[in-house]
Amino acid sequence: MKRIGYFALLVLGVGCRGGEVTKEEEPVKINKTTPRPFGERKTLAVVDFEDKSGYGQGRIGRAAADVLINYLVEAEQFRMVERSQIDKILKEHALEHSGVTDDATAVKVGRILNVKLIAYGVVTNFGMREEATDVVVYQQKEQIAESSVTVRLIDVETSEILFSRMGDGKATRRVSGSLGLGGRMSYDETLAGNSLRAAIAKFVDKLCSSAYQQ
């Protein structure tokens, strides 16, 4: 009986699991550039992306815009418009639900905001899947987030498209241990954000340079 009890405790101890979030690719970073003097920076507004993914109850489009905004603030190349001001304008013009889904609407919103540039985009694809590995008593589960994002940068005054690019990203959350890994893993917004960052970081540098090539 003592041996059985010891074995049971051993299995319970080994069965404890841990989780981690890792990226499938190299860590995503934008290239460090010399900050542009504030007086020379163009004003830029980023609106929520159109979300065609069907995941996260529509939050993926706003998350994608947040990722782009954070990268652009880090780049120190633009004077960024506060999101609250953009939300207010969209609400006043009954666009808070439909959002910006085409160039003409983007230009209209940009002119109302009195900005030089406006960026908008579409989350064209977002998906999560699980993969499991079982080897005797050892188990591992992976939750994989994959996304495809398209972004456009428009000169509000001329309506010219200065930049248009699509990026793909992937991020993985891995849970491993022995026994006790049954059931599905819960939806992970952090993982979604990692996937979007991996997609958007690929073209931030080019977007910044495109804005000043005129």
Q: What angle do CA 142, 57, 111 make, to 5 degrees?
A: 120
Cα–Cα distance for residue pair 112/88, rounded to 1 Å:
11
pTM of the predicted model as reported, rounded to 2 decimal places: 0.77
pLDDT in tens, the chain (214 residues): 444 443 333 333 333 334 444 434 445 677 788 999 999 999 999 999 998 887 766 688 999 999 999 999 999 999 999 999 998 988 888 887 778 889 999 999 999 999 999 999 999 998 888 766 655 555 677 888 899 999 999 999 999 999 999 999 988 877 665 445 454 445 566 787 889 999 999 899 999 999 998 6
- Is 109 within 8 Å of 95 (Cβ atoms)? yes
User: What's the distance, CA 181 to chain centroid?
Assistant: 28
Query: What DSSP line would sit under 48-72, residue for residue?
Result: PPEE-S--GGGHHHHHHHHHHHHHH
Domains of the chain: 20-210 (3.40.50.10610)
